[in-house]
Structure 1
Amino acid sequence: MAFPAVLTAQSDTKLALKTVCIDPGHGGHDAGCVSRDSKKTREKDIALSIALKLRDKIRAAYPGVKVVMTRSDDRFIPLNDRAAIANKNNADLFISIHIDATTNNTANGHSVHVLGQSSNKNRDLFRSNMELTRRENSVILLEDDYTTKYQGFDPSDPESFIFFNLMQNAHLEHSLDFAAEVDKALGTSKIPRSRGVRQNPFLVLWRTTMPAVLVECGFISNAGDLEVFRSDAGKNSIAEGLFKAFVAFKNKYDNSLKSGGAIPVEARREEPKREDIKPAAPEVKPVAVEEEAPVSGVYYGTQILASGRRRPANDSFFKGHKPKIIWTGRLYKYVVGVSDSLSEARKKNDELQKFFPDSFVVKVDGENVEIVK
């Protein structure tokens, strides 16, 4: 493995990213998601392996950066303590690493999450990404006295999520910036399919006092993703993607490389050879649909994806629909079913939900994309 050359620049270090906290999800008696086959591969083991690889990459390339681990072995760490570890060490960035699962074994790909209310409160909170949120947060039930530590939060009660409206991450902009870098960089990993950047009320992100993201690296319930997780090269490719995102974010955070630490001149590293991965069974696709251009500059539609990297309009993810692609300054947002009429856009959204269950109605005005309540 070839590492980049480094240089040392002497200047104001106040804006330098000097400490990163890496959080391998689950651990100990909390196995997280488990594969359905006889091998019973566990999320906690995959997450730890990827986290340790990421730690080693950062330490090798940035000896001046302190890397803090919430766990470095197989032990249970309460969600509350994970954030406390990051805060106690004055971390400048928090990266929580997880593996997703679903009853649909064709679902695959990575997703990146930052703190916030889920996209559409009018939907059933136990569907799609809210089910993921509830599952990750349910870890608190394994902790003693969780009702006191988490202010009565009940992971099985949708109403408990409302309080997150008042708990927005003060570092949301930087969190979104890093999330976009992660989403883009993982596109070069062995699990390249992006499921987008999302806002969710994850408890592990709630009490962090720095930019923070939770990365679902892929699906343990998908045969192709699982094959990647079971190979050392596969896990390394994911860690490499996370490292690339870290480099890109640190370069921005350090004000164009002006810091007192060791800064890579180039964020280029040798890429491991891609292994042949069996593709997942294709999902059902509708007949191709041509989107009509809106009559006015302001229009409504259904947002089906937000991603840090631009996808072509004919990408298979869009299942035949040709989206409007809006660059918002941090993310590319993909909107289909457009109309000047909100009521018409809502009708189209009802149909699109069959193919994009995480989608929601938005109002588009130039580069501004707002969720319609």
Structure 2
Amino acid sequence: MQISLRTNIAVNAEKIKKSRSKWLFDSVVIDPGHGGKDKGAIGPFNIYEKDVNLAICKKLGKLIEEKMGVRVIYTREEDDFIPLWKRTKIANESGGKIFISIHANASPKSKNAKGFETYLLRPGKSQDAMEVALRENEVIKMEKDERKYKNFSDPQNLILATMAQNEFLKESEVLADLIQKSLDKKLTSPNRGVKQAGFYVLVGASMPNVLVETGFLSNKQEAKMLAKSSYQKKIAEGIFEALLDFKNKYETSFTMTN
């Protein structure tokens, strides 16, 4: 069964309209990218992105539960393969109020590339951003029916697919900016800024949503840091503090884009 873009847009827009009137920051959906047979990027010393992502997400989830008292929903808690479409399905059905997908980057062009960046779901503006999305989207080849994503290969259809999420675009932009600023205070790695690209995993999320690339596994030094629990904790703390700022900003009045 293929995704019907126009039908999903109408249904999604209605869900979003209803959720805005009763928004309360009481749950966060954390998505550890990749998993199972999908290792994601592979760094030196067989450092798998899927493992780095899960470790950071668990540290982040623990901070959220213990210090914010907010319910955490994971799209995966073990080394499992979860299709991209199912990740946002989990987010929507759980009633999550924020969707954060955590990844680690890789550059086939330069082993010196390093730094962290946060992405919004929009058609990519730069070649680098489009290439990052292309690499992350390649996982659909491991799914049973990649035809579900057939329409998204057309840039115009990707624009249509993002229309229903425009209700939360402003909030997603604010969240992405807060994450970048917070990580910049925690990490010595370069701040690569907020970017946009067509990540399939974000399509259909009926809530503010971002994808964070925490560093480059293709960079030997950064890969070593990403594999360390202490560095993973710093990343988790940075994202947590951004979420806390976001909660304080929006919980009482979620009307910025009305």
- For structure 2, the 5+ residue unaligned runs are 1-20
- Which SS does the other structure have where 1:144 is aligned? coil
Match for residue 47 of structure 1 among 53, 61, 70: 53
Matched, 1:28 2:36: yes
- Aligned mate of 2:101, from 91, 96, 110: 96
**SS of 1:209 mapped into structure 2:** coil
1:25 to partner: Cα distance: 0.2
Q: Alpha-carbon deviations, 1:134-165, whole Å to 9, x = none?
A: 11111111001120x224445xxxxx233111
Tell me how large the CA RMSD over aligned residues is: 1.7
Shift of residue 193, structure 1, vs aligned partner: 1.4
What are the within-5 Å matches in structure 2 for residues 259-274 of structure 1?
Answer: none
Aligned length: 230
Counterpart CA distance in 1 for 2:86 and 2:66 is 27
Partner of 1:274: none
Q: Does 1:139 align with 2:139?
A: yes
- Asked whether the 8 Å contact 2:32–2:103 carries over to 1, the reply is yes
Distance 1:222 1:136 in 2: 17
- The alignment status of 1:166 with 2:160, answered yes or no, reads yes
Measured in 2, the distance between the counterparts of 1:131 and 1:183 equals 20
Aligned to 1:71: 76
- More moved, 20-29 vs 196-205: 196-205
Contact 1:191–1:238 under 8 Å retained in 2:
no
Per-residue CA distance 1:70-114 (angstroms, 9 max, x = gap): 001100000000000000011110000000001311110001001
Q: What is the CA distance between 1:191 and its match in structure 2? A: 4.5
Question: Does the CA contact (< 8 Å) of 2:28 and 2:99 recur in 1?
Answer: yes
Q: 2: distance between equivalents of 1:186 and 1:192?
A: 9
Q: Give secondary structure in 2 for the equivalent of 1:71.
A: coil
Q: Which amino acid aligns with 2:61?
A: R
- Mapped partners of 1:189, 1:162: distance in 2: 38
What are the within-5 Å matches in structure 2 for residues 300-339 of structure 1? none
CA contact (8 A) 2:151 2:157 kept: no
- Please tell me whether the aligned partners of residues 191 and 218 of structure 1 are also in contact (alpha carbons under 8 angstroms): no
Which of the residues 149, 167, 185 maps onto 1:188?
A: 185
Does structure 2 conserve the Cα–Cα contact (< 8 Å) formed by 1:186 and 1:192? Answer: no
Q: Which has the larger radius of gyration?
A: 1
Runs of 4+ in structure 1 deviating by more than 3 angstroms, as ranges, are 151-154
Conserved 8 A contact 1:53-1:236: yes
Q: Greater relative contact order: 1 or 2 (C-alpha under 8 angstroms, separation 6 or more)?
A: 2
Separation (CA, whole Å) in 2 of partners of 1:102 and 1:21: 27
Query: CA separation in 2, counterparts of 1:137 and 1:51?
Result: 20
Bigger fraction of residues in helix: 2
Q: Which amino acid aligns with 1:253?
A: Y
CA separation in 1, counterparts of 2:142 and 2:173?
30
> Does the 8 A contact of 1:33 with 1:100 survive in 2?
yes
Taking the aligned partners of 2:25 and 2:158, their CA distance within structure 1 comes to: 27
* 8 Å Cα contact 1:191/1:225 also seen in 2: no
CA offsets 1:178-201 (integer angstroms, 9 cap, x no match) = 000000001022354111101111
Q: Residues 162, 152 of structure 1: CA spacing in aligned structure 2 closer, same or farther, 3 A cutoff?
A: closer
Q: Deviations over 1:296-315 (max 9, x none)?
A: xxxxxxxxxxxxxxxxxxxx
Partner of 2:215: 218
Q: Give me the whole-angstrom Cα distance separating, in 1, the residues matched to 2:111 and 2:83.
A: 29
**What is the distance in 2 between the residues matched to 1:174 and 1:55?**
21
Contact 2:114 2:189 in 1 (8 A): no
Matched position secondary structure for 1:197:
strand
